[in-house]
Chains A and B, each alone.
Chain A
Amino acid sequence: MDKFTVLDGIVAPLDKPNVDTDAIIPKQFLKSIRRTGFGPNLFDAWRYLDHGEPGKDCELRPLNPGFVLNQERYSGASILLARENFGCGSSREHAPWALLDYGFKAIIAPSFADIFFNNCFKNGILPIVLESRVVSDLFDRVLAEPGYHLMIDLPAQQVTTPDRQVYPFEVDAFRKECLVDGLDDIDLTLRHVESIRAYEARRRQEAPWLFQ
């Protein structure tokens, strides 16, 4: 996993609450057995005017000019600004894979759905929770200023605006460490093989029906 320390990037605003993972990456693209290549189909049903299917060349498809990510001013954006309950619905990790493949490395919202939030960390994406009021202010600024960008400093746990306003954010110490150091969860857990075996031995005594 790539390390995440400091990110200075253009912000794209997605002004809808309850954006679900079906919207982030529609079901027809979940048939892939790979982890990559989902970027062109991110928000597929909103982004294109025609119906997308796996294998269709997205370069040749008609773009929906009304969809925010199709506006030139947000090209190259790496920070997505979103509303309440972002990423609700299905557990599909294809959603963070698609966001990452498109180029988003951080998402700022007033709240996230649990499974999506967790899946982001597993892929080096930083989901940041800021107060609703602050997020609304950021929406106003992004819409007012083309090229609006934010600086996200994970070690310092703060978001800084171009006019030097600083918003601190919370992140679990363990998740932060994994992201900053780009650590692999499985390697970390396998450092505790003995603890797992000891747990199993004890549990096998207590509840043998679980080990049939």
Chain B
Amino acid sequence: MSALTLYDKLWQSHVVRSEKDGTALLYIDRHLVHEVTSPQAFEGLRLAGRKPWRLDANLAVADHNVPTTNRGDGIADPVSRLQIETLDRNCAEFGITEFRMNDVRQGIVHVIGPEQGATLPGMTVVCGDSHTSTHGAFAALAFGIGTSEVEHVLATQCLLTKKSKSMRVNVEGKLHPGVSAKDIALAVIGRIGTAGGTGFALEFAGQAIRALSMEGRMTLCNMAIEAGARAGMIGVDETTIAYLQNRPFSPRGALWDQAVANWRTLKSDVDARFDQEVSFDASQIRPHVSWGTSPEMVVTIDDCVPDPALEKDLVRRQAMENALVYMGLEANQPVSSIRIDKVFIGSCTNSRIEDLRVAAAVVKGRHVAKNIKQAMVVPGSGLVKRQAETEGLDRIFADAGFEWREPGCSMCLAMNADRLEPGERCASTSNRNFEGRQGAGGRTHLVSPQMAAAAAIAGHFTDLDVFQGNL
């Protein structure tokens, strides 16, 4: 048999049947459900008199709309409240397991899946959310779907889909201290562009990837969608297996041993061929900051805001000019001169315990700058929050002037009360810097947790090396 990529293996093991044109009926092992993209799907089931095909494949949680303060008071916004109550009602009616808002296991859907061991190697994982690519860190085929497909998976446990092309992103060498998985992600998107991965399933490989923790791998796979790829994935190694042992949904006993033996095969064969390959030298990757309104508009911390006049393509030049106006920036302005108003540490990209630890290490014994109106830390789940509190990270953040919040998507997309006001500029560990993403008129700069923490203390973006030496 010819050599297979990890993607080939995951695909082949899930094809139920194929149409002549290659459209496959693909079996789905895990379906994660949240409140925003599911109500119309449940309503569709109800109208057609259908029931979920396999209840135990589903896990639901409310994350997008939930408030991150004063949960005891319930949800003030009646529209948000109705959406969350609708999820609660649908899960109760159809018999789907849900972690409700005041359950300590509640959190961002892409944090709790792996945390619970509900995401396992070799699975197909889908959710009505584009950042489902996160789960590919566990050698799962994981991708976001729309609401019609949410209904389709609920009703049939399958999806109609076609195989993508494969792209391997090789990251060899060693990252410098202070450079993180987020910087790899932004460097990749900066190079290949937000459409560079369109039509591809990405596999991240190489020495620098193997050196990442599962948290770092999740950050990287999470942002595959920002490169246009529905799925990003990483082969199984000891790091993967160690993370999953003794998680609530992980197999146990003899089943664990059987599963692990199978999981060890979930990597690309040595001589597997990819449709495309791109390579990066980890030692050359610097801390990144996005300057514009698309995740491909990135520069490194020691760089300047780019000059549209140097862009030859007219459509791109116009987009750069528009982005500069929206962002309130000047061409050729040093990135380190950009002063910020708010800091957001959270989101499905960077709200896991490791993210909070590195940010806390930067702010420990310091205080946010005077020009910072608000700095907040939103843990990815109730369990991340509890772990951080056990380690005393909440005190470190609070002493430094950060607000310590309840878990949820929060200011990543501002569906709840956490948002930027028009013109406000934010150092954010989230994944999208689109116009209005964090609040109408808000200006987002995507950065790593270390950079967000340093920016909070300095009041502007700053080279972490300089920062550590100077303060």
Chain A residues with a Cβ under 8 A of chain B: 15-18, 20, 22-23, 26-28, 30-35, 45, 51, 54-55, 83-85, 88-93, 96, 111-115, 118-119, 122-123, 172-175, 185-186, 188-190, 192, 195-196, 199-200, 203, 207-212
Report the bound CA distance from A80 to B332 in whole Å: 35
Question: Given the complex, which residues of A lie within 8 Å of B199, measured CB to CB?
Answer: 114
Question: Given the complex, which residues of B lie within 8 Å of A89, measured CB to CB?
Answer: 130, 432, 434
Contact B146 A92 (CB under 8 A): yes
B415 at interface (Cβ–Cβ under 8 A)? yes
Contact A111 B120 (CB under 8 A): no
Question: Given the complex, which residues of B lie within 8 Å of A90, measured CB to CB?
Answer: 129-130, 413, 432
Contact B82 A33 (CB under 8 A): yes
Taking the closest CB of chain B, its distance from the CB of A171, in whole angstroms, is 10
A-B pairs with beta carbons under 8 A, tally: 194
Contact B29 A210 (CB under 8 A): yes
B80 at interface (Cβ–Cβ under 8 A)? yes
Contact B148 A185 (CB under 8 A): yes
B448 at interface (Cβ–Cβ under 8 A)? no
Contacting A93 at CB < 8 Å: which of B23, B48, B146?
B146
Interface string of B108-144 (1 = CB under 8 A from A): 0000000000001011000011101000000000011
Contact B194 A91 (CB under 8 A): no
Additional pairs, 8, CB under 8 Å, beyond known A91-B129, A189-B155: A23-B434, A27-B414, A88-B195, A90-B413, A92-B36, A115-B143, A190-B156, A203-B27
Report the bound CA distance from A188 to B20 in whole Å: 15
CB<8 Å pairs between A and B, sample of 13: A22-B413, A23-B434, A31-B36, A31-B65, A31-B77, A31-B79, A85-B195, A91-B129, A91-B144, A92-B146, A172-B23, A189-B156, A203-B13
Taking the closest CB of chain A, its distance from the CB of B76, in whole angstroms, is 13
Interface string of B248-259 (1 = CB under 8 A from A): 010100011011
Question: Given the complex, which residues of B lie within 8 Å of A23, measured CB to CB?
Answer: 434-436
Taking the closest CB of chain A, its distance from the CB of B121, in whole angstroms, is 10
B398 at interface (Cβ–Cβ under 8 A)? no
Taking the closest CB of chain A, its distance from the CB of B232, in whole angstroms, is 13
Taking the closest CB of chain A, its distance from the CB of B201, in whole angstroms, is 10
Question: Given the complex, which residues of A lie within 8 Å of B161, measured CB to CB?
Answer: 118
Contacting B258 at CB < 8 Å: which of A16, A31, A208?
A208
Contact A91 B152 (CB under 8 A): no
Contact A114 B146, CB 8 Å, known A45-B436, A186-B151: no
Contact B251 A212 (CB under 8 A): yes
Contacting B228 at CB < 8 Å: which of A16, A31, A113, A172?
A113
Contact A91 B228 (CB under 8 A): no
- Size class of the contact patch on chain B: 35 or more
Contact A20 B79 (CB under 8 A): no
Contact A189 B25, CB 8 Å, known A22-B432, A92-B146: yes
B16 at interface (Cβ–Cβ under 8 A)? yes
Report the bound CA distance from A208 to B122 in whole Å: 12
Question: Given the complex, which residues of B lie within 8 Å of A119, measured CB to CB?
Answer: 146, 148-149
Contact A31 B130, CB 8 Å, known A172-B21, A186-B151: no
Among the 9-residue stretches B37-45, B281-289, B303-311, B356-364, the one with 4 or more Cβ atoms under 8 Å from chain A is: B37-45
Query: What are the 9 tightest A-B residue pairs by CB atom distance, in nearest-first order?
Result: A93-B146, A122-B148, A33-B39, A209-B251, A119-B146, A91-B144, A85-B195, A173-B21, A174-B23
Contact B152 A186 (CB under 8 A): yes
Taking the closest CB of chain A, its distance from the CB of B321, in whole angstroms, is 12
Contact B228 A114 (CB under 8 A): yes
Contact B436 A22 (CB under 8 A): yes
B51 at interface (Cβ–Cβ under 8 A)? no
B174 at interface (Cβ–Cβ under 8 A)? no
Question: Given the complex, which residues of A lie within 8 Å of B53, measured CB to CB?
Answer: 196
Taking the closest CB of chain A, its distance from the CB of B160, in whole angstroms, is 6
Report the bound CA distance from A33 to B21 in whole Å: 35
Contacting A28 at CB < 8 Å: which of B144, B152, B228, B415?
B415
Considering the complex, which residues of chain B in the window 404-439 have a beta carbon less than 8 Å from any beta carbon of chain A? 413-415, 432, 434-437
Taking the closest CB of chain B, its distance from the CB of A56, in whole angstroms, is 12
Taking the closest CB of chain B, its distance from the CB of A74, in whole angstroms, is 20
Interface string of B308-346 (1 = CB under 8 A from A): 000000011011001000000000000000000000000
B86 at interface (Cβ–Cβ under 8 A)? yes
Contact A174 B19, CB 8 Å, known A35-B40, A89-B432: yes
Taking the closest CB of chain A, its distance from the CB of B319, in whole angstroms, is 5
Question: Given the complex, which residues of A lie within 8 Å of B435, measured CB to CB?
Answer: 22-23, 45
Report the bound CA distance from A207 to B145 in whole Å: 25
Contact A22 B155, CB 8 Å, known A88-B194, A114-B199, A118-B146: no
B198 at interface (Cβ–Cβ under 8 A)? yes
Contact A93 B148 (CB under 8 A): yes
Question: Given the complex, which residues of B lie within 8 Å of A185, measured CB to CB?
Answer: 148, 152, 160
Contact A31 B415 (CB under 8 A): yes
Contact B27 A196 (CB under 8 A): yes
Contacting B255 at CB < 8 Å: which of A35, A91, A196, A208?
A208
Contacting A113 at CB < 8 Å: which of B79, B83, B195?
B195
Contact B36 A88 (CB under 8 A): no
Taking the closest CB of chain B, its distance from the CB of A199, in whole angstroms, is 5
Question: Given the complex, which residues of A lie within 8 Å of B64, measured CB to CB?
Answer: 30
